[in-house]
Homo-oligomer: A and B are copies of this chain.
Amino acid sequence: MIDKVCIALDAMGGDHGPEVVVPGAAIALTRKPDTSFLFVGDEARIRPLLDAHPNLAAVSEIQHTDVAVRMEDKPSVALRQGRRRSSMWLALEAVKGRRAHVAVSAGNTGALMAMSRFCLRMLPDIDRPAIAAIWPTLRGESIVLDVGATIGADAKQLVDFAVMGSAMARILFDIERPTVGLLNVGVEEIKGVEQVKEAARLLKEQAFPGMDFRGFVEGDDIGKGSVDVVVTEGFSGNIALKTAEGTARQIGEYLRSALGRTFLSKIGYLLAKHAFDTLKDKMDPRKVNGGVFLGLDGVVIKSHGGADAEGFASAVELGYDMARYDLTAKILQGHVHERAAMAAGMASATEPALAEAAS
C-alpha cells in the first residue's frame, strides 16, 4: 500500500478542460486527503483556478504545455501531433517515470488508449488492453470488461481479462474472491463462440485462487449483479454498455413525460420527490464515472469527456483506489498463477506422450 498517492491529471482533457479538472480534484482531495496532484496543461489557465482552492494548491504542481489533444482527433493524429508534448502524453509519462502513481484524463478514449499503449507499454505476457467499466446493479456494482479497447478476443485473452477484472474487483469491492462470469448468449446448442467456450474451460481448469468463476452469464445478468466481474470482448461489451445507457435514458424520458402530463401527476411527483431523488441518485452516471485501462504497465483512468467536477472527482477517486491498493501488482499476481497453471496444463497434457516415448 502506498502512503501518499500522486495523481497526474491531463488538465486539458474533456469538454471543459481545467474548469472541470481543477474543481474536480479539489472535491476528490476533501475525500482522499493523502493525495498530491500533478496538473499537466496550460499553466495560464490552471494557475488562477488552483489559486481559488488553497488546500489543493498546497499539494499540487503544474507541468506546463501548450499542446492538447482535441476530442475529435483520431488516435493516429493525436499520437503524431501530441506525442512527448501534449498534456495527455505528459500525464502518462509521469506515471511511466514513477513521478505519479496514476494518470486521469477526460480526453478522447481512442487517443488515450493509443498513447497509453505507446507510452506505458503492456504488462509482460498480456497482449491486449481492456477498458473496465463500473456498472450499477441491483446488488450494488459490478465490473464489466472489455467495453471497447479492442475488438475480438481469443480464449487466452478472455482469461487475461478475467484475471485483470478480478484484480480490480478485489480492490474496488474489498473481497478476496470476486465472482466472475463470461458473457454469452442463451440459445441452446449454439451457445457461444468457440473462444468463449474455450475460455470457460481454461478458467474452470486453472482454478484461480483470486476468483470464483461461475461460468456463463447473459445480458440480463449484468443489471441483476449476478457476478462481480463480467468478461467479454470489446465489441459486445461496448454494445452492452451503450445499450444499457440508452435504455436508462429512454425510461427516464418516458418517466419525465408521463409525470409532467397532468396536474395530479405533477403533485404526485412533488410528494414522491424524495423517492425520485433516490432513484436519480442511484442512476447518477457521475457516481460511477471512470473507465479503468487494464493490462498496461501503469494505472490509467478515463473520465467521461462531458463529466462535471463531481463526476471528474469520482474518476480521480477511482484512480486513487487503484493506485493505493496497487492494481498492477494484483494483476501480476493473478497472471503468475495463470502462467503456472497453463504450464502445468501443458505438462500434464504432454505426460502421456513422454510416458509412451519412454516405454
Chain A residues near B (Cβ < 8 Å): 74-76, 108-111, 113-114, 137-138, 148-152, 183, 185-190, 192-193, 218-224, 232, 234-236, 238-251, 253-255, 258-259, 261-262, 264-265, 267-276, 278-279, 282-283
How far, in Å, is A305 (CB) from chain B's closest CB? 12
Given contacts A75-B188, A272-B272, 8 further A-B contacts (CB under 8 A): A110-B189, A190-B234, A219-B241, A219-B244, A224-B246, A224-B250, A235-B236, A247-B248
Hey, which chain B residues are within 8 Å of A183, CB to CB?
239
A137 touches B224 (CB 8 A): no
How far, in Å, is A13 (CB) from chain B's closest CB? 15
How far, in Å, is A231 (CB) from chain B's closest CB? 13
Query: A219 CA to B245 CA in the complex, in Å?
Result: 8
Hey, which chain B residues are within 8 Å of A262, CB to CB?
274-275
B242 touches A244 (CB 8 A): no
How far, in Å, is A188 (CB) from chain B's closest CB? 4
Q: List 10 A-B contacts (CB under 8 A).
A: A113-B187, A152-B193, A185-B239, A187-B234, A224-B246, A224-B249, A235-B236, A243-B244, A255-B255, A258-B282
Which of B150, B192, B279 is the one whose CB lies under 8 Å from A151?
B192
Query: A137 CA to B102 CA in the complex, in Å?
Result: 40
Which of B113, B187, B219, B236 is the one whose CB lies under 8 Å from A110?
B187
7 closest A-B pairs by beta carbon, nearest first, are: A219-B242, A268-B272, A268-B271, A220-B246, A223-B246, A219-B243, A110-B188
A275 touches B265 (CB 8 A): yes
Hey, which chain B residues are within 8 Å of A282, CB to CB?
254, 258
B250 touches A279 (CB 8 A): no
Query: A248 CA to B220 CA in the complex, in Å?
Result: 9
A246 touches B273 (CB 8 A): no
Query: A59 CA to B222 CA in the complex, in Å?
Result: 45
Query: A254 CA to B275 CA in the complex, in Å?
Result: 9
With known contacts A74-B189, A151-B190, A185-B234, A258–B275 Cβ distance under 8 A = yes
A279 touches B264 (CB 8 A): no
How far, in Å, is A114 (CB) from chain B's closest CB? 8
